[in-house]
Structure 1
Amino acid sequence: MNKTLTSVLLGAGLAVSSVQAFADISANVSLTSDYRFRGISQSAEDFAIQGGIDWFNDAGFFAGAWASNVDFYPTGDADDDGASVELDLYAGYAGAINDDVAYDVTVYRYMYPGDDINQDYNEIALGVDYGPVRVAYWYADDYLNLGESTQYLELNYSMELPQEFGLNFHVGHSFGDAFDDTSLLGLEDYTDYSISLTKTWAELDFELAYLDTDLDGSFEVESDHGANQDTFVLTVSKSF
């Protein structure tokens, strides 16, 4: 999922009081050492090239698209779905209750062009920002087109450090009907968390993150496809 979307939401949300509405477009491209989504590798712990484009106006509306390469299964695996690209489309509204509290509602469409099965699905997200704290709730009624729902609740905290470094804390919990039958996803409900250090230098954004989950036992994947154990991820991105 597009990590730069949160900044777009905040920008749109804080601008809703402007009398004159206008639209703006931004774009981003990034290279990451491992594409992790809610603590689980989507690229078999290999590098991923990602990019997106966002449209937003100061009335609070926004829309965008984001894409990344993915690798879910080893070549020749019986469950291989043939997916090599993830494409996310999204649209929503962001607003501000006052100078301290902002909110956003976003609808996502996750697609995997060229895959061998239909696993595209929709998800809705509700977020609230209070200063450096962000809380968000996500709901997909038909996750991966499997007929079962998933939910995700996350808490984030960001702080500024000396020399214009940033420090971000994240914890999230995945749960819902799709996790009740562990044979469906090969997972039980779980918690993921991360700590990341950020810095902008030479017009590039750098992020070094430590990520882990509480998955263990038969659900633990140490490396390669679907890795869900502790790791460091380095991401370099550029916004336009």
Structure 2
Amino acid sequence: MTVLRHTAAALLACSVPSFLLFTAMPAAAQSQPEAEPSAHTFTANVAVATEYRYRGLMQTNRRPAIQGGFDYSHASGFYLGNWNSSISWLGDSNPEVSAPIEMDFYGGYKNTFGGGDWSYDIGVLQYYYPGDYPANYTRPYTTEVYAGLGYGPVTLKYSYAPTNLFGFADSKHSWYIDLSANVPLNFWDLRLNTHVGYQKVQIANASYVDWKIGLTKDLGKGFALAVAYIDTNADKTVYTNAKGRYMGRGTAWASLTKTF
């Protein structure tokens, strides 16, 4: 830019009252359209637990577990996710198996109706256990399709397995029904967690009931602390592992979760 152009610009600036420049700035800012909220939501979570219990049964032989996952949801109600946990139950039941991780992949659709008081959720869930297995071993990989109906804090969910269930041979068409309530309390940001479920396994003596009662505390900044008592009536002859531990034994449990 030449000196003449610099000088002309300076003269023009001096010719405009400064208060006009300042009053014009907010008007320009106000003319910018507000950004619409995104229809896409991405979240992640990580947790440490005193042990991993699934449907009442121990998955880490009374040892701590590290867990975490990722979730995507769309404003329409469609969602996808992945959740993972350390496990030991496969090796605890058969020393020839080396499969220390559970990986869950799921997707579905959920929404509300009836003015928002009612909700529904339908989807499919794949349980995957990468590792080394001996020949002729029934893989624990399991697929379930599920449907849930909720009213307020109460949810009833039905899960059906068209595949074998968690390594049980000839156990296709097993199913699980779960009644849960997560009720906000009016003090200390606490939530009451209750649950009862029935696991039907299509082999003798393997079906059982499990239940839980606990509390969750919102600690702020994405942290949550949960404590619970978990128990089952699972048959000891079926659910005692190779290390002699009864997998359905009642226990106190706790976890700390961070959501991003």
Aligned to 2:254: 234
Aligned to 1:138: 159
Segments of structure 1 that go 5 or more residues without pairing to the other structure are 1-18, 183-187
How far apart, in 1, do the equivalents of 2:215 and 2:43 lie?
23
- When structure 1 is superposed on structure 2, of 213-222 and 163-172 the one drifting more is 213-222
CA-CA distance at 1:93 after TM superposition: 0.5
User: Would you say the 8 A contact 2:91–2:97 is kept in 1?
Assistant: no
Aligned to 2:209: 191
How far apart, in 2, do the equivalents of 1:86 and 1:221 lie?
20
CA-CA distance at 1:121 after TM superposition: 2.0
User: Would you say the 8 A contact 1:72–1:225 is kept in 2?
Assistant: no
CA-CA distance at 1:111 after TM superposition: 0.5
Instruction: For 2:258, give the aligned amino acid.
Output: K
Change (3 A) 1:30 1:78: closer
Aligned to 1:14: none
Runs of 4 or more, structure 1, over 6 Å off, are none
CA-CA distance at 1:147 after TM superposition: 3.8
Greater RCO structure (CA 8 Å; 6+ sep): 1
CA-CA distance at 1:216 after TM superposition: 4.7
Q: How does 1:85-104 map to 2 (within 5 A)?
A: 85-98=101-114, 99-104=116-121
Q: 1:166 aligns with which of 177, 186, 191?
A: 191
Mapped pair 1:181 → 2:198: no
- When structure 1 is superposed on structure 2, of 93-102 and 165-174 the one drifting more is 93-102
Identical amino acids, percent of aligned pairs: 30
C-alpha offsets along residues 120-163 of structure 1, whole Å, 9 cap, x if unaligned? 22111111110111000001111236342210001011222212
Change (3 A) 1:216 1:109: closer
Aligned to 1:156: 180
Greater C-alpha Rg: 2
CA-CA distance at 1:226 after TM superposition: 5.6
C-alpha offsets along residues 185-211 of structure 1, whole Å, 9 cap, x if unaligned? xxx211000001110115310000100
User: Would you say the 8 A contact 1:104–1:126 is kept in 2?
Assistant: yes
TM-score (norm 1): 0.81
TM-score (norm 2): 0.75
